[in-house]
Structure 1
């Protein structure tokens, strides 16, 4: 929110310094509106976050595709490849509940079900980036750790 407010303040200042030409001011004002609308993160649904987690844990999906689902995911490619190998014949599912959003951040409690049972209320964090909700690095590391593909600091 602070970044959006600062961007609006800078845009308003620049608009005030422009020429008296009405079309110039109108285009700057519409630019301001579209910029702030693009910065607002829509609230994530449980279904959307569950689909994200399911795709991330699917061993049939290439690691490079999964890396795009994680903020800074490129640095986790080796971990994701290890997870893919470990989950090759292993079924994992997720149920997302209790989502709390704050701007472009969301935290949820996730139940993780595997052949060994269900682990309820696993805290998972997400970030809205590049126009989509993504797993935060910490959230990815939680799942990677469960798959014995631990993240190194």
Structure 2
């Protein structure tokens, strides 16, 4: 947990919503737009987000299972394997605090507890995809960085 600087360097940004212009030249785009607009994300609860974080940091879970907890997680399999090795005999806990949702994205303040102490208010980002709340790539990289398996 000595990589507090890595945590401080991680920032999450939310993309703004664009307007839904209806024009005759939008025949192809209207299907995509209406599909994206049809996705309604339920409000994430602290318990839901905490369970994602706990499962992601569980050294007994295979990397392939953990990759499913992350948006585009397959690209982080090597990092997750490294984290699993480092966490083999190391307990990490999470307490999710303030959650701010913007459509299918959510940011939360998370307290991370380890044998070295507690880091309060670590910014963590999530995304609602495939009918579930998942860690965003940036959120996963925050945890991976703490476990000395930093994203590149």
**TM-score, normalising length from structure 2?**
0.78
Q: Which has the higher contact order (CA 8 A, sep 6+)?
A: 2
Question: Which residue in the other structure is 2:66 paired with?
Answer: 66
Unpaired segments ≥5 residues, structure 2: 1-15, 28-33
Alignment of 1:3-152 (within 5 A): 5=20, 38-152=38-152
- Is the contact between residue 108 and residue 123 of structure 1 (CA under 8 Å) also seen in structure 2? yes
Unpaired segments ≥5 residues, structure 1: 15-31
Deviation of 1:128 after TM superposition, in Å, equals: 0.6
Larger radius of gyration: 1
- Is the contact between residue 63 and residue 80 of structure 1 (CA under 8 Å) also seen in structure 2? yes
- Is the contact between residue 107 and residue 123 of structure 1 (CA under 8 Å) also seen in structure 2? yes
Q: C-alpha separation between the residues in 2 aligned to 1:117 and 1:103?
A: 34
- Is the contact between residue 4 and residue 39 of structure 1 (CA under 8 Å) also seen in structure 2? no
Task: State the SS of the aligned residue for 1:71.
Answer: coil
Q: C-alpha separation between the residues in 1 aligned to 2:20 and 2:85?
A: 45
Q: 1:83 to 1:44 in 2, by over 3 A?
A: same
Q: 1:115 to 1:49 in 2, by over 3 A?
A: same
Q: 1:4 to 1:80 in 2, by over 3 A?
A: farther
Structure number with the higher helix fraction is 1
Q: Which runs of 4+ in 1 moved over 4 A?
A: 1-6, 35-38
Q: C-alpha separation between the residues in 2 aligned to 1:131 and 1:36?
A: 13
Q: 1:89 to 1:46 in 2, by over 3 A?
A: same
Task: State the SS of the aligned residue for 2:140.
Answer: helix
